[in-house]
Amino acid sequence: MYPFTTTTGIVRNRWYIAAFADEITRQPMERTLLGTPVALYRREDGAPVAMYGICPHRYFPLAQGTLRGDALVCGYHGFTFGPDGKCVAVPSQGTGAGFCQPTYPIEERGPLCWIWLGDADKCDPGLIPPYDDIEMGTPGWRYSSPNYAHLKGRAQLLVDNLMDLTHLPYVHHHISGGEAMADPKMREEQRERSYRVVRMGKLPWTGFNVLVWGAENGYEGLADFDQLTDFYGPELIRTGFPIMTAVPGHDTVPPELGTMHIMHGITPETEHSTHYFGFSTRNFRLDSTELDEFQYQSDCKIRQQDVVAIEAVEARLEHSASTQRELLVRSDGPAVKVRRLIQKMLDAEAVESKEPAA
Ligand code: FES
Ligand SMILES: [Fe+2]
Give the closest residue to 97 by CA, choosing from 84, 81, 83: 81
Give the closest residue to 284 by CA, choosing from 188, 209, 222, 202: 209
Residue 58 CB–ligand 1 contact under 6 Å: yes
Q: Which residues surround ligand 2, an ion (CB under 5 A)?
A: 306
Question: What global pTM score does this model have?
Answer: 0.95
Give the pLDDT of residue 95.
85
Give the pLDDT of residue 181.
64
- For 226-276, write each residue's pLDDT tens digit: 999 999 999 999 999 999 999 999 999 999 999 999 999 999 999 999 999
Residue 57 CB–ligand 1 contact under 6 Å: yes
Give the pLDDT of residue 178.
62
Nearest atom in ligand 1 to 65's CA: 2
The residues near 116 (Cβ < 8 Å, ≥ 6 apart) are 14, 15, 104, 105, 106, 107, 123
Average pLDDT of the residues in 197-221: 91
Give the pLDDT of residue 267.
99
Average pLDDT of the residues in 202-217: 89
Is residue 236 classed exposed, middle or buried when 0-12, 13-18 and 19+ CB atoms within 10 A define those classes? buried
Residue 208 pLDDT grade (very low, low, confident, very high; cuts 50, 70, 90): confident
Give the DSSP letter of residue 357.
P
User: Ligand 1 atom 4: the closest Cα is on which residue?
Assistant: 77
Mean pLDDT rounded to a whole number for the chain: 95
Q: Which CATH architecture has domain 143-353?
A: Alpha-Beta Complex (3.90)
Cis link prior to 3 (omega < 30° from 0)?
yes
**Distance of alpha carbon 347 from alpha carbon 344, whole angstroms:** 5
- Out of 1.20.1250.20, 3.40.50.1820, 2.102.10.10, 3.40.640.10, select the CATH number for domain 15-122: 2.102.10.10
Residue 60 CB–ligand 1 contact under 6 Å: yes
Backbone dihedral region of 238: left (phi > 0), alpha (psi from -120 to 50 degrees) or beta? Answer: beta
- For 1-57, write each residue's pLDDT tens digit: 999 999 999 999 999 999 999 999 999 999 999 999 999 999 999 999 999 999 999
Domain regions of the chain by residue span = 15-122, 143-353
* CA of 172, nearest ligand number: 2
Residue 74 CB–ligand 1 contact under 6 Å: yes
Looking at the predicted structure, is the pLDDT value of residue 358 above 60? no
In angstroms and rounded to an integer, the radius of gyration of the C-alpha atoms of the chain is 23
